[in-house]
């Protein structure tokens, strides 16, 4: 722990930097803390020695380090009540009787993404824990299809399918009809086996290129059962953050947002609202991930907000807590 004066100084520096993205001037700090500039400089120097502040590359000013943000979150942050505007926008979603609860979560996170200019993620259970409800196929060309799989939990997944050779549209339609007739209600992780032992013997009798058709569906469902249901809102909000003005860095982060394995790692097992700053998360050292677990009708998942290390920690924690509490 550090002295009360150092804590006050660190809190002021962190909160001002969160708002402005610029180092606060010593003059401003002197005015707020009612002490000399020499005292401020000495205290800031000591905070830097402790690793809580660091100098920027573009100026002589000091800004919070990753360790400084961590100290702020652990010891200085005070989650606040939602302001009227934030609460009103979220209440319109929770009071909408036409929405199922899973849609309430998604819509709420979309609103939070808009309010904060951060990226929101909703991560549900893995698809293998769902059952197939309906299958549709949209042909793109002679050898490429899109399979649209609807589960009993209301999740909709699109899968690209590639045929090893040309198969007629009529054969594709008959196979889809057969799957809908025989496999509805089958758990996703059992569909591949069902395709082999129930569907393949039937289509082999009337589809000349049945191996190509079987392989395409088998591969699509094999991928599907390993996926987690996730939705993302505001992926491009990262472009609005002043610290990300490097094109290569922006491209790197956007690519990570499209990496399902990385996004799946966001899954949270803890019931609390947890903050992972910089190197503490698996996504990117320049980002902060704030996330928590939610439960709706026995279905558990993760909600998360992703932004720069210079996040509005107090506000984000309050927003996530509001959603978490209203899901019960």
- pLDDT of 166 over the 70 cut: yes
Which tens digit of pLDDT belongs to each residue from 82-124? Answer: 888 888 889 888 888 777 666 788 889 999 999 999 999 988 7
Same domain, yes or no: 286 and 301: yes
- pLDDT of 128 over the 70 cut: no
* Residue 70, both tokens: 């961590």
> Looking at the domain assignment, is residue 61 inside a domain?
yes
What's residue 129's pLDDT? Answer: 67
Same domain, yes or no: 241 and 112: yes
* Residue 271, both tokens: 């019931």
3-state secondary structure (DSSP) of residue 149: strand
Can you list the positions of beta strands (E) in the chain? 53-55, 62-64, 119-126, 132-141, 144-151, 156-162, 228-233, 274-277, 287-296, 299-308
Same domain, yes or no: 203 and 70: no
What's residue 135's pLDDT? Answer: 92
Query: Quick one: pLDDT band at residue 269, thresholds 50, 70, 90?
Result: confident
- Ramachandran region, residue 289 (left: φ > 0; alpha: ψ -120 to 50; beta: rest): beta
> Looking at the domain assignment, is residue 60 inside a domain?
yes
Which tens digit of pLDDT belongs to each residue from 170-180? Answer: 889 988 999 99
Same domain, yes or no: 258 and 300: yes
- pLDDT of 229 over the 70 cut: no
User: Where a domain ends, among 228, 246, 269?
Assistant: 228
> Looking at the domain assignment, is residue 71 inside a domain?
yes
> Looking at the domain assignment, is residue 245 inside a domain?
yes
Same domain, yes or no: 256 and 110: yes
142 or 149: which leads in pLDDT: 149
In terms of Cβ atoms closer than 10 Å to its own Cβ (0-12, 13-18, 19+), residue 311 is: buried
C-alpha to C-alpha distance for 328 and 326, rounded to whole angstroms: 5
What's residue 15's pLDDT? Answer: 95
User: CA separation (Å) from 45 to 6, 8, 30, 328?
Assistant: 11, 15, 15, 47
CATH at residue 205: 3.30.390.60
> Looking at the domain assignment, is residue 18 inside a domain?
yes
> Looking at the domain assignment, is residue 295 inside a domain?
yes
- pLDDT of 154 over the 70 cut: no
How many independent structural domains does the chain possess?
Answer: 3
Residue 164's domain comprises: 128-228
3-state SS of 263-298 is HHCCCCCCCCCEEEEHHHCCCCCCEEEEEEEEEECC
Same domain, yes or no: 69 and 138: no
- pLDDT of 157 over the 90 cut: no
- pLDDT of 79 over the 80 cut: no
Length in residues, the chain: 328
Report the percentage of the chain scoring pLDDT > 90. Answer: 40
Nearest CA-CA partner of 295 in 118, 104, 21, 152 = 104
C-alpha to C-alpha distance for 207 and 175, rounded to whole angstroms: 9
CATH at residue 72: 1.10.10.10
35 or 229: which leads in pLDDT: 35
User: How large is the angle between the packed helices 84-94 and 313-326, nearest 10 degrees?
Assistant: 30
Same domain, yes or no: 62 and 190: no
User: Where a domain ends, among 228, 257, 283?
Assistant: 228
Same domain, yes or no: 224 and 134: yes
User: Where a domain ends, among 185, 210, 228?
Assistant: 228
What's residue 189's pLDDT? Answer: 81
Same domain, yes or no: 91 and 72: no
Same domain, yes or no: 55 and 114: no
Same domain, yes or no: 110 and 243: yes
**Do strands 144-151 and 53-55 pair parallel, antiparallel, or not at all (unpaired)?**
unpaired
Neighbouring-strand partners of residue 162: 144
Same domain, yes or no: 321 and 243: yes
In terms of Cβ atoms closer than 10 Å to its own Cβ (0-12, 13-18, 19+), residue 38 is: exposed
* Least confidently predicted of 99-103, 235-239, 277-281: 99-103
3-state secondary structure (DSSP) of residue 186: coil
Which tens digit of pLDDT belongs to each residue from 245-264? Answer: 888 899 899 999 888 788 87
> Looking at the domain assignment, is residue 123 inside a domain?
no
């Amino acid at each position: 722990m550090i002295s009360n004066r150092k804590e006050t100084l660190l809190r002021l520096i962190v909160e001002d930097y969160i708002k402005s993205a610029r180092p606060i001037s010593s003059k401003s700090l002197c005015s707020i803390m009612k002490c000399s500039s020499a005292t401020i400089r000495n205290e800031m120097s000591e905070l830097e020695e402790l690793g809580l502040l660091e100098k920027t590359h573009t100026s002589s000013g000091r800004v919070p380090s990753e360790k400084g943000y961590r100290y702020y979150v652990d010891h200085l942050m005070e989650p606040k009540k939602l302001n009227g505007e934030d609460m009103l926008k979220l209440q319109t979603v929770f009071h909408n009787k036409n929405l199922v609860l899973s849609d309430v979560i998604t819509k709420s996170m979309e609103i939070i993404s808009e309010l904060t200019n951060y990226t929101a993620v909703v991560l549900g259970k893995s698809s293998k824990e769902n059952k197939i409800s309906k299958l549709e196929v949209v042909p793109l060309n002679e050898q490429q299809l899109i399979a649209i799989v609807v589960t009993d939990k209301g999740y909709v997944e699109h899968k690209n399918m590639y045929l090893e050779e040309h198969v007629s549209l009529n054969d594709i339609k008959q196979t889809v009809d057969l799957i809908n007739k025989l496999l509805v209600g089958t758990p996703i992780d059992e569909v591949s086996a069902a395709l082999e032992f129930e569907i393949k013997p039937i289509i082999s009798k009337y589809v000349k290129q049945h191996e190509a058709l079987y392989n395409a569906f088998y591969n699509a469902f094999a991928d599907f059962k390993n996926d987690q249901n996730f939705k993302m809102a505001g992926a491009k909000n990262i472009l609005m953050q002043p610290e990300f003005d490097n094109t290569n860095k922006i491209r790197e982060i956007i690519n990570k947002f499209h990496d399902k394995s990385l996004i799946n790692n966001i899954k949270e097992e803890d019931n609390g609202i947890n903050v992972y700053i910089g190197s503490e998360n698996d996504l990117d050292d320049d980002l902060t991930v704030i996330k928590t677990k939610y439960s709706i009708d026995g279905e558990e998942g993760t909600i998360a907000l992703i932004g720069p290390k210079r996040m509005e920690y107090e506000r984000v924690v309050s927003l996530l807590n509001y959603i978490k509490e209203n899901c019960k």
